[in-house]
């Protein structure tokens, strides 16, 4: 049960990122790719965790902070433009899934059931990604770029908080 819950919790952040993308052409492809990465990164985290614990403890918070800041700035800079900016689904899915790697290192140390966790993370990521992409397309009509601006500010604040910890 802990593995299933952990997998679901590691996938919830996908909603926060993907709900901001109303114009994704290949929603199912992006959702499947995100689900695959939500399974691959934890597998790598479990297997390579003992070797990378030192690196992640030292640099993980900086990497996370920089990525959050860049996403936030991107959202703010392009929120007032009428032209649509596309981000590669491959890069987007990697960004959304990167945190599952570091999380799985700690879950591996806790001896969490690896197979159940990985399957739960993948299925949850698929559901969260596809659902939030569908919601994003529908909410764009009602809220316009206000969601994008708010999310950009939130990501920048999160990046600053990540550095301070």
What one-character-per-residue DSSP string does the chain give?
Answer: -HHHHHHHHHHTHHHHHHTT-TT-S-HHHHHHHHHHHHHHHHHHHHHHHHHHHHHHHHHHHHHHHHHHHHHHHHHHHTTT-SSPP---HHHHHHHHHHHHHHHHHHHHHTT--HHHHHHHHHHHHHHHHHHHHHHHHHHHHHHTTHHHHHHHHHHHHHHHHHHH-
Can you give the pLDDT at residue 69? 83
Say how far apart CA 12 and CA 103 lie, in whole Å.
Answer: 13
Q: What is the pLDDT along the chain (165 residues), one digit of tens a residue?
A: 777 877 777 777 787 777 767 677 788 888 898 888 888 888 887 777 666 667 766 777 777 778 778 877 877 776 666 655 566 777 777 777 777 776 777 666 666 777 888 888 889 888 988 888 888 777 765 666 676 677 777 777 777 776 665
Can you give the pLDDT at residue 165? 57
Structure tokens at 143: 């809220």
Can you give the pLDDT at residue 23? 74
Can you give the pLDDT at residue 66? 82
Can you give the pLDDT at residue 108? 67
10 Å CB burial of residue 48 (0-12, 13-18, 19+) is middle
Reported pTM: 0.59
Closest CA to 136 of 17, 19, 15, 27: 19
Say how far apart CA 155 and CA 21 lie, in whole Å.
Answer: 15
């Amino acid at each position: 049960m802990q593995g299933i819950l952990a997998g679901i919790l590691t996938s919830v952040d996908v909603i926060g990122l993907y709900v901001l993308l109303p114009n994704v052409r290949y929603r199912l492809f992006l959702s499947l790719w995100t689900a695959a990465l939500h399974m691959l990164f934890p597998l790598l985290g479990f297997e390579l965790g003992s070797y990378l614990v030192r690196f992640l403890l030292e640099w993980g918070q900086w990497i996370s902070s920089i990525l959050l800041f860049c996403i936030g700035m991107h959202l703010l800079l392009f929120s007032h433009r009428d032209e649509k900016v596309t981000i590669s689904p491959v890069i987007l899915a990697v960004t959304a899934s990167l945190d599952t790697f570091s999380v799985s290192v700690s879950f591996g140390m806790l001896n969490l059931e690896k197979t159940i966790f990985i399957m739960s993370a993948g299925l949850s990521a698929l559901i969260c990604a596809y659902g939030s992409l569908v919601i994003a397309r529908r909410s764009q009509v009602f809220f316009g770029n206000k969601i994008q601006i708010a999310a950009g500010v939130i990501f920048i604040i999160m990046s600053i908080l990540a550095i301070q910890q």
